[in-house]
Chain A
Amino acid sequence: MRRLPVYLLLDTSGSMTGEPIEAVKNGVQVMISSLRQNPQAIETAFISIITFDSAAKQVIPLTDLASFQMVDIKAAGTTALGEALKLVATCIDKEVAKTTAEQKGDWKPLVFIMTDGIPTDDWQIGLEEFKKRKTAYTVACAAGSSADANLLKQITDNVVSLDTADSQSIAKFFSWVSASIGVTSTKVEDGGKDVTGLGELPPPPSELNVVV
């Protein structure tokens, strides 16, 4: 069974306290519930949550949808995006199975990053590590005006931004992530090959500005 690995990198820095972090937690729950109703996603999609504030932590390893239970996350500290990028690179190495003569490996992973501010660590080193691994596509979301969409553009071409990091916008982001995972699960099962880019995904809702 080829799994579709999905890594969510979530900014849990101090600025996310209050409405934003609650919206993120809620967004993930709603996303999981909705994906559970998708017959292809429930078989193929495996989700991992990596949080980053003063340090990066994989709070939930790659887990199938049926077993997935969201953990409580709190917001405090700075924004170690570089560490998060390095961590997801290591997780990909460890968790994503490669194709061999004896077994078919997993599909290329999807990576979704959400941050509301500027990285406070040496993020370029983390980026170098991250770039050495292959993903099907990576999407970065600049939540609110304190985030730097241009910086995120160096991580991936696929950058979306939210005007404000409020409940509604964050909810919309997660519902688009959910739809994207759903569509990707169907496409890889039907097409037999990896999805390669944003063009294959459902169009983002109006709350998400696509950064060109």
Chain B
Amino acid sequence: MSDLRDVVTQLFKSNTINVPANRKELFDRFLQDEVNKATINEIIENQNWLMARWKLEDRIADIIQQPVRMLNGTTGKPYETRFDFENLKWDDITAFQFDGLNEVGLRFDEKTKQITGVPLKSGDIKFSFKFKVKDQPDDAPFNEKLLTLIINPDPKSLWKTIESDKQDPYWKEDNATVFVPLGDRHLLASSKRGRSHANVGSFREDDFAFSELDNGWSIVVVADGAGSAKFSRKGSALACQAVVDYFKSEPSIESMKGFDGLVHDHKTNYNESTQKRVRHFIYNNLGTAAFQAHKQLEEFASQSGMALKDLSSTLIFTLFKKYDIGYALLSFGVGDCPMAVLNKRLSKVILLNWIDVGDFGGGTRFITMPEIFKNEKFASRLGFQLVDDFSYLMLMTDGIYDAKFVVEANLNNVTKWQQFLDDLQGTNDDKIKVVLDPANKDLASQFSKWMDFWSPGNHDDRTLAIVF
């Protein structure tokens, strides 16, 4: 009764109808009248119904506008993000469905409360969460909450492969792989244009060369043309060729024969004098070869009307010859390309050169820089090793070194080299096995495939030469 009285009093008040004290009895009778009571109850019901309807709309709007944090995904990568009704405080949802997830390879897993799956395409994926809340009739249409999922493209798919211009006077093949006998061993070498060059249709700037020599020596050369130098593709090619040509020339063939006696002396009478003779020998033979390469680049630049620095390139090379007392390895290096030799048991690694990062770090030096020949450190670029035997002699450009060794300290660590060999032999993301056996007929093609490895941040040209 007091409910009814309150409702009517409120109604009259908001319509400026005042029930004075002297009308109280009449008012009580009014409230007890059956028809009036029925009507007042109807009014109360309607009010409640209206408020409930409003609350429902309000609640639905809350859910629709509530931000839901979902992680970004990547095409092809397994995805999951939490979509937990409890966390979202949606305990009043009675029915729901997701539209638009299946089309992109995703689904909602009710048990784990995750949106999960492997996204098939990239972009701002719009999907809808359709739902009904408590107090809605079963046949009410679904309410729709629109959501957007950000799916990143597969980074690998963003790289284009554009042909390099074959009409360019200094064009070279984008990729080169060889597997040949070399001396009493074999050479497996590959030089590949980096993705960053392929993406814009520019050239491979790395290069390599090799040769057997009539005096029993063999040589392998690797060069990394500077990215900032306009014609470094020619610079690296010329530098490699110049070194091979030098060592193939008659005077050099003769001169190098002098090492036969010297190496035996050095082994039997190891003293300051033989050391000195060895140093001079290397300086006169390899130092001169390096200088020759420099001069040829200089001449080419002047003939072609370009600046010498347009041909900038690093240059590393090693000559090896088998003697009865072991292998002699003579080397020269300028630039940040490592050369190393591993013993038979793979327990020791010897670096044949030092990584040249220039004065300020993060840079490198080039064979085109005349100052390297005048610098007192020049002699330290030349190396000599006499080893009983070796399993692998490797020369590489930073396209390989950065990706597989990362920091200089790792080059001194034989474990890292063992891991590198494991990688070559199959422990890699693409599961490509390179079987380093001379009898392996597929070796060149296996190696070429391995050389295409994906390494985030490492999209430079890459060259790797292995003597085994």
Contacts and interface: CB of A to CB of B under 8 A. Distances in A.
B362 interface: yes
Interface in A128-174: none
Interface in A38-53: 38-40, 42-44
B407 A104 contact: yes
A101 B405 CA distance: 12
A36 B407 contact: no
A186 B155 CA distance: 14
Contact of A39 (B158, B361, B408, B460): B158
Interface stretch (A16-24, A84-92, A113-121, A190-198): A190-198
Interface in B168-209: 195-196, 199
Interface stretch (A62-70, A75-83, A202-210): A62-70
B363 A193 contact: yes
Nearest to B160: A39
Contacts of A192: 227, 362-364, 398, 402, 460
Contact of B407 (A43, A44, A103, A186): A103
A99 B360 CA distance: 13
A67 B79 CA distance: 12
Contacts of B71: 67
A175 B74 CA distance: 24
A66 B227 contact: no
B406 interface: yes
Nearest to A193: B362
Sorting the interface of chain B by its residue count into under 10, 10 to 19, 20 to 34 or 35 or more gives: 20 to 34
Interface of B, secondary structure class, is: loop
B152 A186 contact: no
A39 B199 contact: yes
B459 interface: yes
B140 interface: no
B159 interface: yes
B201 to A, nearest CB: 14
B297 to A, nearest CB: 21
A69 B196 contact: no
Contacts of A191: 227-228
A97 B402 CA distance: 17
Contacts of B364: 192
Interface of A, secondary structure class, is: loop
A73 B110 CA distance: 34
Nearest to B458: A189
Contacts of B406: 103-104
A1 B363 contact: no
B1 interface: no
Interface in B375-403: 398, 402
Contacts of A102: 407, 409
A74 interface: no
Interface string B218-261: 00000000011000000000000000000000000000000000
B46 interface: no
Nearest to A38: B158
A68 B72 contact: yes
Contacts of B408: 101
A190 B197 CA distance: 9
A38 B459 CA distance: 13
Nearest to B124: A33
A57 interface: no
B39 to A, nearest CB: 50
B74 A66 contact: yes
Nearest to A72: B67
A37 B158 contact: yes
Nearest to A101: B409
A43 B150 contact: no
Interface of B: 69, 71-72, 74, 150, 152-153, 155, 158-159, 195-196, 199, 227-228, 361-364, 398, 402, 406-409, 456-460
Interface of A: 1-2, 36-40, 42-44, 65-69, 99, 101-104, 186, 189-194
8 A-B pairs closest in CB distance: A39-B158, A193-B362, A66-B152, A1-B457, A101-B409, A43-B456, A190-B227, A39-B159
10 contacts: A2-B457, A36-B152, A39-B155, A40-B196, A44-B457, A67-B72, A101-B408, A189-B459, A190-B460, A193-B363
